Chains A and B, each alone.
Chain A
Amino acid sequence: MTAPMSESTRTIEELTSADYEYGFSTDLETDIAPPGLDESVVRLISSKKDEPEWLLEWRLKAYAAWREMEEPDWAKLEIAPIDYESISYWAAPKQKPVLDSMDDVDPDIREMFDKLGIPLHEQKMLSNVAVDAIVDSVSVTTTFKATLLEAGVIFCSFSEAVKDYPDLVREHLGSVVPVRDNFFAALNSAVFSDGSFCYIPKGVRCPMELSTYFRINSMNTGQFERTLIVAEDDSHVSYLEGCTAPQRDENQLHAAVVELVAKDRAEIKYSTVQNWYPGDENGVGGIYNFVTKRGRAHTDAKISWTQVETGSAITWKYPSVILQGDRSIGEFYSVALSCRRQQADTGTKMIHIGKDTTSTIISKGISAAHGQNTYRGLVKILRSAENARNYTQCDSLLLGKECGAHTIPYIEVKNPTAQVEHEASTSTVGEDQLYYCRQRGMTEEDAMSMIVNGFCREVFNELPMEFAVEAQLVGISLEGSVG
């Protein structure tokens, strides 16, 4: 007789029917700009943040570019038209005095994090994780800064970085995702509110996992974070990004940009658990998530993206790696779950430029209820990329009659020495699999949960330990998976 499954093991059915647990809204006094976007709003954001002239110019350039661009329509997403004029592009908690310790943090905010199960004060003691907590658009508090500074690591909000390390920011901002890259990246570049900046000096191995919790809070506020991570030669960093948003009826737009620069022999591991409000079972509400994530890997560098995407009504996200240096490595591990009426169009781009570059793509898509899940990926081997290697595996699991799973890979090879392999499968949970489990004393729900976890295991294995709690948040318990 098999031991009873742990209580924390939750099933897909529960997951798909459960109400969003994090759908509360904390009543913070917020400073909000009137809806609409024009040049004056860009200037307002810049002046509110007391930014230098060059950054304002950069924003204005992006705004001008965005004005001329068209919203992309190639993704397999059915989206009600987004009215960019009805969104407010600036929201910040009212100015509070500078805080000395965690106790000074606004109790409302602390309570909010408590509800999420990540109490900051406990986190500081229990885990070795520094948290740069973002409520709406402005960083409220940053922990572990001192410890990090000792190692020479800079980990701060983007605004602080602009003030304290303008040269570093100026050198790398937009170097991986240029302002004209795409519609949403241009929009972000024009109006980004805040975000995280991380700099690992030469030869330093970051002493702890860095983590940011994004939290969308204010009604009708688009979130436009900007993350920039620069890893100098021979350095190493692991970065965690977790997201949860309160329940709202109106769709909220989120357009973030993440840029990673891995210099020679550096390694960046970027992990995301995205659990934003997916909308209700009728497709009302939910976050629209349009994210541009890209890394540039120099000689012998390695960039690894791991993502667990379970939230948002719309997900449009393709974390990519430009394998520029010789022998550089790119990895992409993804679990994307769409249930209710969620639509996810996500995947990766691996651009092989350098010689002997290697990339690995493992994507697991799960569709349930009315969910639509699309893997869209590009593997591009340029003429210069001698001996490039790529291995891609995308598997889809269908749990229900009304859902859809789609795989749309693009493979473009211009070098005869390349070895590119792509494998994909789409299947359902077999009756025989369920029968086998049930025969051994499991309930159908436990069996289903176990099979789904087994399906995702290759990706979950890539998640840092710190995300064990997050993976529970996701609803697919790690405990159920067979080892």
Chain B
Amino acid sequence: MTASPTAIDPAVTGRAAALDWVELSGYPTRRNEAWRYAPHKKLAELSFGPPVALTTSVPDLGDLIPALDGPRIVVVNGVVNTELSTMTGPTGLHLSSLLDARREQPDRLAVHFDRVKSQISDAYMALNIAFGGDGAVVRVDAGATLEVPIHIVDVEVPDETRNASCTGVVIELGAGSSATVVETRIGVGADFGGSNIRTTITIADDASLEHVLLQNVPASHMHLSNIDVTQGANSKFLARSFNLGASYGRVAYRVDLAGSRAHADLSGLFFGFGDQVLDQQINVVHSAKNCTSRQTYRGVLDDASTGIFNGGIDVLPGADGTDAEQSNKNLILSDRAEVNTQPRLEILADEVACKHGATVGQLDESAMYYMRSRGIPAVEARRLLINGFADQVVDEVSIESVRTWINQRLGHDDV
């Protein structure tokens, strides 16, 4: 960490402050609840700093990403690639690179990056603020209804610097607007590397956003993502995450239901093979009255993989009329796999109805028997059962081409 963060953008004092935060508070350890099961040794091998531009040619994205026509921003190793991006879109949509946006409208963007000490959750978030250069900005005008999904692609091609690129994504929805954003994170090569991507989302009153996160970087990478959402009154946020790649794949959401009657619906699938560690950290904070939230997470763990679900529902004082629920179900397919689930409820208000449930189990023996007794081979029966389990989440995605992409990754040829 030799480079000075202010060299990237001296106008932003927040960078230096964020780096001070890291100096002061250090890196997370097993004692931090949100990092309890993370592979800390491996994480320590990553280095963080200003983006290291790609020296080789950009890989062919072709089959790596879902087939979505329309506006898209492609970020390669932390830098926007304008050739691969399509910045134009329907009326009401404004797309730009983060670097440009911060140069042109520093004040407007400041709200996404100026964080006081207490708002920084961990060292990796601080490093993202300190070193994050480029990324994507999606702005939707008030009242606009966008039919085409907006695609943000992050491509990681690591080199010997082992630099984890710090990228920022900003999504702002004006009052009464609606949009769908798909963030696809991929990479190439078998070299060790990582990405540290921070997405900040503001959804104004009565607006509605579907946000799909597809994480499928190579198994030699580590992937850290942090999604910070603030919702206005009557707004709707649908989060769909598919945490599939990386040796350590982390998807962390913090959703603040700040306006009354807002609704957040988060669902996700994590499907681990090999020795992957797939970590979901979900925090839904009810700070206004009469909000509703739902969390549905499914984990499938094969080989020696580890699945982590730490989902919280926080109901702050005064958030009366809260209705929140959470469900996490996990399938363990191998005797070396492992699941750690922690469904939390922290309630400081009256008139609330909250519930959560978590299960860990294996494939249903009787269902297996039923299928085999009807001539379906064991391998096929197993696959059908796993697919059926995963589909509980996959089916929640509204875009067909994204569902197809996920199913291909999961080996559902029959879909």
Contact = CB atoms under 8 A, between A and B. Distances in A.
Contacts of B362: 416-419
A386 to B, nearest CB: 9
Interface in A407-421: 407-421
A415 B352 contact: no
Given A419-B360, A420-B361, A398 B350 contact: yes
A407 B343 CA distance: 8
Given A405-B347, A415-B332, A423 B337 contact: no
Contacts of A404: 346-348
A383 interface: yes
Contacts, number: 111
A422 interface: yes
B400 interface: no
B354 interface: yes
Contacts of A175: none
Contacts of B360: 381, 411, 413, 418-420
A421 to B, nearest CB: 5
Given A405-B347, A419-B361, A426-B347, A412 B340 contact: yes
A433 interface: no
Given A411-B358, A422-B358, A416 B332 contact: yes
A421 B329 CA distance: 9
A128 interface: no
Interface in A33-62: none
Interface residues of A, number: 34
B55 to A, nearest CB: 43
Interface string B331-367: 0111101111111111111111111111111100000
B343 A409 contact: yes
A412 B342 CA distance: 9
A418 B341 CA distance: 14
Contacts of B358: 409, 411, 420-422
A413 B339 contact: yes
B345 A407 contact: yes
Contacts of B351: 428
A383 B339 CA distance: 12
A410 B330 CA distance: 14
Interface string A450-476: 000000000000000000000000000
A406 interface: yes
B333 A416 contact: yes
A400 interface: yes
Contacts of B357: 421-424
Contacts of A410: 340, 342
Contacts of B332: 413, 415-416, 418
A206 B13 CA distance: 73
Contact of B355 (A74, A398, A423, A428): A423
A372 to B, nearest CB: 9
A422 B361 contact: no
B338 A413 contact: yes
B356 A407 contact: yes
Interface in A78-128: none
Contacts of B348: 403-404
A414 B342 contact: no
Contacts of B345: 396, 405-407, 424, 426
Interface string B71-85: 000000000000000
Nearest to B36: A410
Contacts of B334: 416
A411 B343 CA distance: 9
B343 A424 contact: yes
A418 B338 CA distance: 11
A398 B344 contact: no
A425 interface: yes
A401 interface: yes
A427 interface: yes
Nearest to B337: A416
Contacts of B342: 408-411
15 contacts: A398-B352, A402-B317, A404-B346, A406-B347, A412-B338, A413-B332, A413-B338, A414-B337, A418-B332, A422-B357, A424-B343, A425-B356, A426-B352, A426-B353, A426-B355
Please provide the 9 A-B residue pairs with the shortest distance between their CB atoms, ordered closest to farther.
A416-B332, A407-B345, A425-B355, A420-B360, A422-B358, A426-B354, A404-B348, A413-B360, A406-B346
